[in-house]
Amino acid sequence: MSTTFSFGLDRYLVPFSFRQVPVYRFDVVVVGSGVAGSAAAIAAAGRGASVALLAKAELRETNTVYAQGGLAAVLGAPDTFDAHVADTLKVGCGLSEREAVECVVRGGPAAVERLLQMGAEFDRTPEGAIDLSREGGHSHARILHSQGDATGLEIQRALTSAVLNLPGITGFPNTFVLDLLSMPDGRVGGLLTRTARGDLVAFSAGQVVLATGGAGQIYRETTNPVIATGDGVALAFRAGATVRDLEFVQFHPTCLYIAGAARALISEIVRGAGGILRDRTGRRFMPEYHPQAELAPRDVVSRAVFAQMVKTNDTSVYLDLSQLEGDPHALFPSISRTCRFFGIDIAKDPVPVRPGAHYQVGGLRTDLDGRTGVPGLWAVGECASSGLHGANRMGSNSLLEGLVLGLRTGAASALEGGGSERAQNAVRRSREMPKPPPGVRVNLEDLIYSLKSLMWRQMGVEREKHGLEDALSKLAFWSRAVEDLGPAEPRAWELLNMLTVARLMTLGALAREESRGCHWRSDHPELATQWRQHTLLRARAEGETLEAIELELAPVRDQAMVP
């Protein structure tokens, strides 16, 4: 049984004809050069495919670079695969798919070995073994890290170096993907891009892999870089792919909060090493909210921080590192440098922190090889919903997922073949664009600020029905305004993607009348067993217009898990 909501959005952002643009042909096109995209490109090239790797910015400028915490993997006793699986299922609050969890967890050691072969360097003990730390939700120390808090940077370095040294991969940095191109039978046969010079270029490919990361930039407070605007989910949704559980957005509880400064992540490894959260009076408050205190799952810590900010009428809480064993500057050099820039000595000064949007838990529904429901289209990493995370993500599982499933997806897409025939000969808008009155225009930056503020207020750490309904109304109005009146430039197209993802997130949050994982409804604070289901959203098209969204519920495949 499904519910239908009106939508109203054009299938394609830009009209074009293959007669007017150059066309590059590859076996596989991978969009996104972070851990999942680079791993997919490497695996596809290793199977003999010609691969184009497209990046919105430089190949090294990815969300992966900002992953401070680490990579979770079981590397030996006393840890076990069963323990890692159990921890992940527990944090997933009943929505993780056991098959996906088993696949990713058991693929950890081989993925780590593959990284080591590429030259990745991880911190080691004096005896030479890989040094493992512990984070919230993990029952054992199983987190690999590099230079304390620069794990993502090191993994990206190793992967990018491998990509650049493989002759089967051609990199296309600073390339913005506008649309996936559908063939008459609905299959994806390529994509349309805009280069840094402003030229339109089409790519024709048998297989397209989306590894575009998340959508943190739709929130005012976020740890994500400016490139994280939900492009992959929006592209695929317009092409007919199904979106799953997008209402689940993980908020990181400890973002450096200094008015006027970009939010910087203060990694969970700081709390794992003994960092203590205190309110403005200096009182430690986390033991009141959860037995694991600062090492509770991130959604618990985020809500506790938010609640304490309200109680104390403060704009933040404070992270105290003064009682750590060892020198905090040596343990966390990246965090130390960032804080020192703002005059904070992390060894003695309390660090002001507050929650920020961190990880998009839901995404495009895929199988374990990355297949979406649209032939020729694959997705992996943060833009995908593989079944691993469920209703909440356990720290450091995302880099593991990107590696394990990235390699699987790349190999599977290369083996699928299918040729690189052209998509449709021409793409055009389905309706005549209105001509605005003289002087009427859309202020994109103002709309972006309004969107980010709206989502933070009404789709943030806590949600409720009336705020969600109001948000949906505003998001629909802004989408029409940008589509009808926005300039033909990347910032407007990016905003349309952000608005599309925001609407999908909000629809899922409105439908899910319970609190589970990182989705918290103040008007439905209980966990509801009848809601142990996935929310599925897909577009219903009429010609080249997406007229409506259909919402369906799907049971979790592993019915043995509770609640």
Residues assigned a catalytic role: 298
Q: Is 41 helix (H, G, I), strand (E, B) or coil?
A: helix
Instruction: List % helix, strand, coil for the chain (3-state, nearest 5).
Output: 35, 25, 45
- Name the residue among 512, 208, 246, 519 with its Cα closest to residue 383: 246
Q: How far is CA 234 from the centre of its chain?
A: 13
Task: Write the single-letter amino acid at 415.
Answer: L
C-alpha span between 379 and 210 (Å, rounded): 5
Residue that is written with structure tokens 């691993």 in the block = 388
Quick one: which H or E segment has residue 301? helix 298-312
Helices 108-117 & 98-106, crossing angle to 10 degrees? 40
DSSP-derived 3-state class of residue 539: strand
Contact 375, 241 (CB under 8 A): no
If we measure between CA atoms, which residue out of 172, 175, 177, 199 comes closest to residue 188?
177
> What is the C-alpha separation between 290 and 302, in angstroms, rounded?
12
How far is residue 333 CA from its own chain's centroid?
Answer: 26
Rounded distance between C-alpha atoms, residue 29 and residue 560, angstroms: 38
Nearest-5° Cα angle at 362, 70 to 109: 35
Query: 6 to each of 57, 388, 479, 490, 504, how far by Cα in Å?
Result: 34, 31, 13, 26, 12
Task: Enumerate the H helices of 347-489 as residue ranges.
Answer: 397-416, 444-458, 465-485
Cα–Cα distance for residue pair 554/448, rounded to 1 Å = 33
